[in-house]
Amino acid sequence: MLTALSIRDVVLIEALDLEFGHGLGVLTGETGAGKSILLDALGLALGARSDSGLVRQGAAQAVVTASFEPGAHGGIAALMAENGLDFDAAEPVIVRRLVKKDGGSRAFVNDQPVSAGLLRELGAFLVEIHGQHDDRGLLNPRGHRALLDAFARADTGAVAAAHRGWREAVDALAAARAAQAEAERDREWLEHAVAELRALAPEPGEEERLAERRAAMQRGEKVAGELQAVAELLDGSDGGLARLRQAARILDRIAEAHPALADALAAVDRAIDEAGQAQDGVDRAAEALAFDPAALEADEARLFELRGLARKHRVQPDDLAALTEELAERLERVEGGEASIARLEQAVAAARRDYAAAAEALSALRGEAAARLDQAVAAELAPLKLDAARFRTVVQELGEEGWGAAGRDRVEFEISTNPGAPFAPLMKIASGGELSRFILAMKVALAEEGGARTMIFDEIDRGVGGAVASAIGDRLARLAARTQVLVVTHSPQVAARGARHLLIAKSHDGIVTRTGVHALDPGERREEIARMLSGAEITDEARAQAERLLEPA
């Protein structure tokens, strides 16, 4: 709801501060007093295109500030959150627009700089302005579906959830098909790679074991001759051990001949023992370093294959076993991919059925609500001197390419202004006065479901009077019981229904012309309505008629 409007240096307005309340507020004044300036200033604050011509002559800039009570409006909260703006439903939303003399402009929301585009988006949630050339609100077919859903009190959450589930299933299927196509391109390579790796059957740590064994056999090959020579020198028929044993036998027979011989025998025995240990060491080494040329060749070939395959796949030889399993799993997925895709196709079909069922139920609800809305609008047309017109709500099922989170229907409001005339979009066939009255009829019928919290009607009563003007005033008052309504009017019947009356007047001090706005008290209000009834000269009869109009209905 609009609570305050501050205007500085806009055309003929030097400084103006206005406060607004609930219910129906009326703005009146003589032609040329500046009512359009007031609406232009508010439009500027709501993101309308800036124009240096709005800056009052002699001023450097024009500034308009509007304060709103947003209430718990989900659209406002979401928009401000998306753009990093703080929002508290209990706090006012203050929009401000500054236009410089050179045409440059700046926009602010709660003193935070924003773009004019964001200001327009926010303004659409805050205020609806219906005038002679308005192309927003009810005239925009893009909003008709949401208005019908609000009128029907339809919960579109189930359809949105079903649509989301369907899209997720479709996306999963598309991803699986893409992966399958890519995998199919690799199938031949995978089959060859897996067969080659499985034929080799690499094991973790195998390369190290083969390398160590090959190195040992290569060392043995180098020292084999020397080891054989040592063995023959130690343990051959004419070797050292044989000669030591012969010497020991001889010394054993003659050891009693002299004590030194016993010592010599003991030394020879020790030498035999040491030589035996040396022989055992040589034998162990020979056994460890023994090599089979065929085994060495086989190990070398195996090692070459392991390292070659590792280079081919750009991994370490120890990772070949894990790579075998990984590629085998990929091949398995390729071979089992068609089954997986078939399951996903079934899931897509099931999700589509769920969406179609939810959308069909929503379409049926929309169809019922459309019939009720048509009746409700028709009941409002005759009192507004639109009894020859017809209104209808078109609910048309779209092709599958047009199905979405809000269902599968296109919704548009259409009218026929004369008997036998074809139906067409509202803004294409209604004149200015008819257009405003059609909008009022629809707003009343829709009970302001889904609209902004502040509505402004600019000269909705143009070209009508008497009973029609009274009907307009009555409907504006009914609408104002649910939301804030401001109306610029030349009709005393409409002005009399207001809960608050603002007079727009122009003054001239001989040098400067200014536009001002004055809140009228009951007496001043009666005088203004009497002026609207009688013209420049206010008669007692006009005052009496004004009193009758101001009497509670």
With tokens 């009255």, the residue in question is: 437
- Helical (H) or strand (E) element with 538: none
Half-sphere exposure for 419 (CA within 13 Å, toward CB) = 2
- How far apart are alpha carbons 292 and 284 in whole angstroms? 17
What three-state secondary structure class fits 423? coil
Q: So what's the pLDDT on residue 165?
A: 95
Q: So what's the pLDDT on residue 26?
A: 93
Predicted TM-score (pTM) above 0.85: no
Q: Which tokens go with 480? A: 């104002």
Q: So what's the pLDDT on residue 133?
A: 47
- Helical (H) or strand (E) element with 517: strand 513-519
* Amino acid occupying residue 256: E
Could you tell me the CA-to-CA distances from 134 to 116, 129, 274, 424 in Å, in that order? 19, 7, 119, 17
Tell me the angle at which helices 320-381 and 293-313 cross, rounded to the nearest 10 degrees.
20
- Are 426 and 139 in contact by the 8 Å Cβ rule? The answer is yes
pLDDT along the chain (553 residues), means of 10: 92 89 89 79 88 87 92 78 85 92 90 91 84 59 86 89 95 88 79 88 88 77 70 74 81 83 85 84 73 78 89 91 87 74 92 96 95 92 85 94 93 88 77 72 71 78 79 87 88 91 84 84 92 84 90 75
DSSP 8-state class, residue 419:
T
Q: So what's the pLDDT on residue 135?
A: 46
- How far apart are alpha carbons 158 and 170 in whole angstroms? 18
Backbone dihedral angles phi then psi of residue 76, each to the nearest 5 degrees: -65, -45
Which residues, at least 6 apart from 386, have a Cβ–Cβ distance to it below 8 Å? 417, 434, 437, 438, 441
Q: So what's the pLDDT on residue 21?
A: 87
- How far apart are alpha carbons 230 and 298 in whole angstroms? 30
The CB density around residue 384, as the number of other CB atoms within 10 Å, is 24
Could you tell me the CA-to-CA distances from 188 to 148, 279, 295, 326, 378 in Å, in that order? 58, 60, 35, 16, 71
DSSP 8-state class, residue 511:
S
- How far apart are alpha carbons 200 and 195 in whole angstroms? 9
- Are 12 and 484 in contact by the 8 Å Cβ rule? The answer is no
- Are 213 and 367 in contact by the 8 Å Cβ rule? The answer is no
Q: Which tokens go with 335? A: 């071979």
With tokens 């690799």, the residue in question is: 186
